[in-house]
Amino acid sequence: MILVVDFGGQSNQLIARKVRDLKVYCEVVPFNKALNSIEEKKPTGIIFTGGANSIYEEKAPKIEKEVFECGIPILALDYGTQLMVQALGGKVKKVDRIEFGEVNLNIEESVLFKNIENGNVVWINNVDIIEELPEGFKSTASTKNSKIVAMENIEKNLFGFQFHPEVNNSKYGKDMLANFVYGVCGEKADWTMANYAKTAIDDIKKKVGDGKVLLALSGGVDSSVTAALLSKAIGNKLTCIFVDHGFMRKNEGDEVEEAFKDSGMNFIRVNAEDRFLNKLKGITDPEEKRKAIGEEFIRVFEDEGRKIKSVDYLAQGTIYPDIIESGVGDGAVIKSHHNVGGLPDVVDFKDLVEPLKMLFKDEVRELGRELGLPNYLVDRQPFPGPGLGIRVIGEITKDKLDILRDADYIFREELEKAGLSKDINQYFAVLTNNRTVGVKEDIRTYDYTLALRAVETTDFMTAEWSRIPYEILDKVSRRIVDEVEHINRIVYDITSKPPATIEWE
């Protein structure tokens, strides 16, 4: 395995993803845990990330010298390289003019540049430059403005790049990483989801033994894949509770039931629509709605949990980005993550089972496919816990939910048919609380305005509204007003996030 040592760079996860794309297992650890992790995990190679700091800053992250002496190949990137230079006796200097963006790389002979053409483009963002190499190192690449942008000490298998091979702008970045991972570290491309599934199933069997496991299944990708994996491993020792709050999209509840009801586990679908609708009667404020839905979720679980009383393990669909610790700051914070609004407090359990906790989202999807889950579950876009409850503006009623479900279905269907669903990260309809006058077959109507929302984003923290072609919008609009009763006007949301959020409530 390859260990990525994080110095607070923004691309720690990206580097790990790129190594895993090479089908080599890889984990990310914060710099202050590097030495312990090396002893514990015995990696075949180490990659230092970049970082936001200059090594001259007072609080700049440092690394123990022993890391360089443990005999394991190291590829340092950007800040990591500057740290390596400084730690091994070379000199780094602040630049007068930051070198930033795409640059051409003049390369020398190096194992890391095998089969890579001279003059290739890489992405660079340099705050400090290498002024003097440490003993035993030679320069292996330069740019127009910098004499040393790559270095190596081949006897000690220590390498440094001042540029970023992990970003797509670096044309041969992936090949350079491959040269390190395969050529220098001797790894093989054998980390596949089929192997992962086998190992994970064995591990679950070993851990759980004859014990009983409970999983709160939301129907989202992570909990669905967790359910599939656990059910393959332990069959009827797994109980899944799927709370259908009535705020699912069209057919979704049935699809989840269909996928799991005969999978060998105990699948409990709680049809709680009436309960939720009752609880939400008269509530119009978005925050109050969210709170009420979250609380009711927990109540439903508790009621089901009381019937089960005790299990040995509680399973969760936690994934890797939720647990990667930050490399910066003292006492790194670990984010906790629950797939549903709450855990059943009334159920006693002795430990957690989190079989996806080392996987990135797209790996979870791949694993789901490997386990035979249908595409409609595996490729599902993010869906908020409160579901359509926060996409019906104003008071939620069964009628409004049904109208929204039908309209949302048409929108999604048309985008999928047009082949746009792969590029748009989230797309859905919102039933506004606004009614306007229209005319249908010569008769006056006074019906709802439906809003369509589609965004492109990588992290959902910021998002750009999607430029859906007019013809597609036109088709969606015509179909919805034609096929769905009580909608007579369609608007398309053209605000990005910020200042808007993705959801309307």
185 vs 82, 172, 497, CA distance in Å?
22, 19, 42
Q: In terms of CB distance, is 72 or 463 closer to ligand XMP?
A: 463
Q: Is 166 a catalytic residue?
A: yes
Q: How far apart are CA 479 and CA 477, in angstroms?
A: 6
Q: Is 264 in the site for ligand XMP (CB under 6 A)?
A: no
Q: Is 387 in the site for ligand XMP (CB under 6 A)?
A: no
Which of helix, strand or coil describes residue 55? coil
CB of 358 to ligand XMP, least distance (A): 21
Which of helix, strand or coil describes residue 86? helix
CB of 493 to ligand XMP, least distance (A): 12
Among the listed residues 231, 164, 229, 257, the one whose alpha carbon sits nearest the alpha carbon of residue 366: 229
Any known ligand binding at 219? yes
Which helix (H) or strand (E) covers residue 121, if one does?
strand 121-132
Q: Is 81 in the site for ligand XMP (CB under 6 A)?
A: no
Binding range to ligand XMP, per CB under 6 A, among 79-87, 145-153, 280-288, 379-387: 379-387
Among the listed residues 255, 271, 270, 259, the one whose alpha carbon sits nearest the alpha carbon of residue 231: 259
Q: In terms of CB distance, is 355 or 384 closer to ligand XMP?
A: 384
Q: How far apart are CA 140 and CA 159, in angstroms?
A: 10
Q: In terms of CB distance, is 83 or 463 closer to ligand XMP?
A: 463
Which residues are registered as beta bridge partners of 107? 141
Among the listed residues 398, 339, 338, 384, the one whose alpha carbon sits nearest the alpha carbon of residue 504: 384
Q: In terms of CB distance, is 294 or 438 closer to ligand XMP?
A: 294
Packing angle between helix 193-208 and helix 361-370, nearest 10 degrees? 80
Pick the catalytic residue from 99, 152, 166, 505: 166
Q: Is 285 in the site for ligand XMP (CB under 6 A)?
A: no
Among 173, 386, 387, 389, the residue binding ligand XMP under the rule CB under 6 A is: 386
Q: Three-state secondary structure along 235-289?
A: HHHEEEEEEECCCCCCCHHHHHHHHHCCCCCEEEEEECHHHHHHHHCCCCCHHHH
CB of 386 to ligand XMP, least distance (A): 5
Half-sphere exposure of residue 74: CA atoms within 13 angstroms, side-chain side: 26
Work out the end-to-end distance of the chain between its first and last CA atoms, rounded to an integer number of angstroms: 43
Q: Is 495 in the site for ligand XMP (CB under 6 A)?
A: no
Q: Is 338 a catalytic residue?
A: no
Q: In terms of CB distance, is 82 or 425 closer to ligand XMP?
A: 425
Q: Is 318 in the site for ligand XMP (CB under 6 A)?
A: no
Query: What's the CA dihedral at 248, 250, 251, 254 to 10 degrees?
Result: 20
Which residues are registered as beta bridge partners of 429? 452
Q: How many residues bind ligand XMP (CB under 6 A)?
A: 10
Any known ligand binding at 372? no
Q: Is 460 in the site for ligand XMP (CB under 6 A)?
A: yes
Among 82, 426, 445, 488, the residue binding ligand XMP under the rule CB under 6 A is: 426
Binding range to ligand XMP, per CB under 6 A, among 26-34, 117-125, 152-160, 380-388: 380-388
CA dihedral for 221, 223, 226, 228, sign (positive or negative): negative
Q: In terms of CB distance, is 56 or 460 closer to ligand XMP?
A: 460
Any known ligand binding at 80? no
Among 145, 169, 195, 501, the residue binding ligand XMP under the rule CB under 6 A is: 501
Any known ligand binding at 142? no
Q: Is 382 in the site for ligand XMP (CB under 6 A)?
A: yes
CB of 40 to ligand XMP, least distance (A): 33
Q: How far apart are CA 367 and CA 373, in angstroms?
A: 9
Among the listed residues 123, 117, 151, the one whose alpha carbon sits nearest the alpha carbon of residue 137: 151
CB of 205 to ligand XMP, least distance (A): 30
Q: In terms of CB distance, is 84 or 293 closer to ligand XMP?
A: 293
297-320: b or e for each residue (b if 16 or more CB lie within 10 Å)? bbebbeebbeebeebbbbbbbbbb
Binding range to ligand XMP, per CB under 6 A, among 6-14, 99-107, 297-305, 378-386: 378-386
Q: Is 502 in the site for ligand XMP (CB under 6 A)?
A: yes
CB of 62 to ligand XMP, least distance (A): 36
Both tokens assigned to 345:
């407090």
CB of 382 to ligand XMP, least distance (A): 4
Any known ligand binding at 221? yes
Q: Is 338 in the site for ligand XMP (CB under 6 A)?
A: no
Q: Is 466 in the site for ligand XMP (CB under 6 A)?
A: no
Backbone angles phi, psi at 185, to 5 degrees: -85, -15
Any known ligand binding at 430? no
Q: Is 385 in the site for ligand XMP (CB under 6 A)?
A: yes
Q: Is the separation of the CB atoms in 23 and 196 below 8 Å?
A: no
CB of 307 to ligand XMP, least distance (A): 26
Query: Which residues of 7-50 form beta strands (DSSP E)?
Result: 26-30, 45-48
100-121: b or e for each residue (b if 16 or more CB lie within 10 Å)? eeebebebeebebbeebeeebb
Q: In terms of CB distance, is 251 or 501 closer to ligand XMP?
A: 501
Q: Is 454 in the site for ligand XMP (CB under 6 A)?
A: no
Binding-site residues for ATP, in ranges, read 218-224
- Residues at the interface with ligand XMP (CB under 6 A): 382, 384-386, 426, 460, 497, 501-503
Q: Annotated binding site: which residue ranges?
A: 218-224
Q: Which residue numbers are catalytic?
A: 164, 166
